[in-house]
Amino acid sequence: MNKSVAISPALSLLLGGACFVVVIAGLKEAASTLNIVLLAFLLAQSLAPLPNWLQQKKCSTVISVLITIVLVVGGGLAVLAFLASSVSGLLAKFPSYKQQFLQMTHAAVAFLQGRGVDLAHSATVEGIEPVKIMQFAGSLLGLFAGALGNGILLLILGVIFLLELAHNDRKLAGGEYAPDSLVARIAEINAESRTFVGITALMGLLQAVVKVIALYIIGVDFAATWGVLFFFCNFIPMVGFVFAVIPPVFVALLDLGWQSAATVAVSWWIINFVGDNIVKPKFMKDSLDISFLMIILGVLFWSWVLGPVGAILAIPLILTLRRIGRMYLKNSD
């Protein structure tokens, strides 16, 4: 005779906590590979409306998929080639930027000392060494150049995910899958994150184009590069804009002076404010209902688990896990 064994709430909590720790440890260990897979799926979600739109325009499924593959692969390879060229250009100009930064720092110190500010015993100034700052910037460029090596794999996985999403969407629209099937449940789980990713990608692209035009008008070097950087940082909530605006402001400061740097900062802030607070709400009519605290904690947690890429994936992961939780509670009732 089978006898059910009652488990105390405390033991259930301990077992759940232990399972959670094991899962998180596994995610951290596999972060380098998992990041590529999740970013590829994020890319596929961003581009998924394209084959669906083509099919609505009476294109066959095969033609829609082929057009999508050509655009994605061609566009992806063009972006990778452009980024590789940009990184090469930045590395070539890095010694010049380093020299300009050192001259600017020495001039600022001399100016303050000339006004009677004693910096000789300032721990704050002693701790800020221009050489170390520029070495850190150089290491970031090296990391970015190395990350381009994963771009081809990311692109291939993105195409595969995109084909699968387009195939499943067509069958769901045609009623070939039951409402309680696995594919239907996965589509339901991804509904909110897919909407968020699609709208965020569209708004990021529009804002990036306008910001690149502004940089070209001001005369900042590598304007298109900073536009691409903004597009990806746009997926990072709250702080993504800050990460994206620092490089062009810094380059403008070194090359053109503080007036141009201030112009870059103000123009980018205005474009970002209009896009996020006026235009974006018109597309995203239904609020995602995520509190500010949840966003901050989510960014911190997933950045700790997956590294810097976790900040980009934080909101989609939060939306997906929240939908899974709601479906579980609904089925439990």
Question: What is the tens place of the pLDDT at every residue in 212-230?
Answer: 999 999 988 888 888 888 8
pLDDT given for residue 332 in this prediction: 64
pLDDT given for residue 126 in this prediction: 46
Between CA 196 and CA 43, with CA 182 as vertex, the angle to 5 degrees is 30
DSSP conformational letter for 277: I
C-alpha 114 chain-centroid distance: 44
Nearest Cα to Cα of residue 119 among 132, 101, 106: 106
Nearest Cα to Cα of residue 44 among 201, 179, 188, 173: 201
- Residues lower than pLDDT 70 in the chain: 1-7, 61-62, 106, 108-109, 111-151, 173-183, 282-289, 331-333
Whether the CB-CB separation of 313 and 256 falls below 8 Å is answered with no
Q: Rounded to whole angstroms, how far apart are CA atoms 19 and 17?
A: 5
* pLDDT tens digits, 284-314: 655 566 777 788 888 888 888 888 788 888 8
Per-residue burial over 86-103, b = 16 or more CB atoms within 10 Å of its CB, e = otherwise: bbeebeebeeebbeebee
Q: Rounded to whole angstroms, how far apart are CA atoms 27 and 21?
A: 10
Write down how long the chain is.
333
The one-letter amino acid code at 72 reads V
C-alpha dist (Å) from residue 316 to 38, 85, 236:
10, 31, 10
Q: Rounded to whole angstroms, how far apart are CA atoms 22 and 8?
A: 21
Q: Rounded to whole angstroms, how far apart are CA atoms 31 and 136?
A: 23
Q: Rounded to whole angstroms, how far apart are CA atoms 226 and 243?
A: 11
Q: Rounded to whole angstroms, how far apart are CA atoms 79 and 204?
A: 15
Between CA 110 and CA 117, with CA 114 as vertex, the angle to 5 degrees is 90
The one-letter amino acid code at 271 reads I
pLDDT given for residue 331 in this prediction: 67
Q: Rounded to whole angstroms, how far apart are CA atoms 231 and 35?
A: 18
